[in-house]
A and B are shown apart, each in its own frame.
Chain A
């Protein structure tokens, strides 16, 4: 329908059927991210040892974008190093927050396809936080 470009098919399917919901066994960190403006809440559960993220699960109460973002983030960072995951979070935020005219680096070079699905959000300023909330929570969990 008109104006639905920010809801990529991948976002819709993951918001309906998340693949990484729940909590991990032998959890080493858990953190809750809240958006006081809209009441969205993401609870992350992860297992990270020796600088590597072995597993991430989320419990998300929020909109389609927040739900899909948490799920695709969990997928993207599973198995990666903490340093790489934090860097990925920065790039994801850059992709959303940089005006398209100034976007020098092609997102496809640096971001997994699942995260590129959020690119059209660039023109929905009021919804950016829905996509970045899980990443903010992840950053907290990894640096706490």
Chain B
């Protein structure tokens, strides 16, 4: 993998910020977009745009075909069938869809099990379901190192009342990669279905939903070098068929009278209204681009970056990494003695370096860790070791400035 060639495909990486070269270490929040994605979307709007599934005209047929080709790409990317791919706005909407729709099939006395390291997107929809449906919401604890506590997870499943487990496949704060196959087996043995939030994981490793054995898998396009406004829910066909629709409107119906309506077959049943057509084309292109580079190369690059970061950053005085999970992706949350994460982020920004600071949409996790905020550096396919060195050097100067 030639990083210089890859970087050259991301026009934004040659921008300057406050007069300094941009060092973008916030890919876990949202990744930058390569030319091919930008061009594919622009090209679609320039030459073959129309609404889909409606028009009998040439443009609409072409647009429909392009949209459905993107669905096929996502299906083969995840190892599912095309009917099992529902386009959503993002991971948040995909999880809300499951919480609303699959959730409506749950009964009081049943439970949903999440973990302490969930993003608010995989927590709040379940709280809302709990309050709406009178089910129980259980929270599996993590260890001090930031791994899921598997013994506790097993205990929380043991009474057989958990109908659904919803857990992250990779923590956006700690970088922890959760032992998905193990979690799936344990959930199924306890009679529960399982949803994995792959928002972070899908960027870093090959996902095969069949191999994982999972029941629901969600991810979002914009972290995978694709556009915003497009996400994916994959679910087993029989689950989608049993689930009631999420939103009502055009495209999701089979037949409508004033008295009643019947639903379209899956996946259309879950895609009410004009979808994000252009964004779906962008996502399909991003997936092609990622697969063309290959997860083996991506994984090796990110493992090398993470190892490098975990070597050079802790040498900065006062620096501590938050969490020490057994297996981790390219996300490192940290604190620095005597300097608040927001002051770190502001001064890094003024030196061209973009990181995230705050609670990372995981307030309960921050509370569990005894923190109110951390700073976070996250790596993408275009990140270099030199950028991590620049981060370390700038952190050193920030610390000197404050102490």
Residues of chain A having any CB pair with chain B under 8 Å: 1-4, 6-7, 12, 16, 37-41, 61-65, 124, 126-127, 130
Contact = CB atoms under 8 A, between A and B. Distances in A.
Given A38-B357, A38-B373, A124-B346, A4 B340 contact: no
Nearest to B349: A3
Interface of B: 18, 20, 339-343, 346-347, 349-351, 357-359, 363, 366, 372-373, 397-398, 400-402
Contact of A39 (B347, B373, B397, B402): B373
B346 A127 contact: yes
Contacts of A61: 372
A interface, over-half SS: mixed
Contact of B347 (A4, A41, A130): A4
Contacts of A12: 402
Classify the secondary structure of B's interface with A.
helix
A113 B372 CA distance: 31
A90 to B, nearest CB: 25
Given A38-B357, A39-B372, A61-B372, A6 B342 contact: no
A65 to B, nearest CB: 7
B347 A127 contact: no
Contact of A3 (B339, B351, B359, B402): B351
Contacts of A16: 402
A127 B402 contact: no
Given A38-B358, A63-B342, A1 B373 contact: no
A130 B372 contact: no
Contact of A63 (B18, B343, B359): B343
A130 B351 contact: no
A12 to B, nearest CB: 7
A128 to B, nearest CB: 12
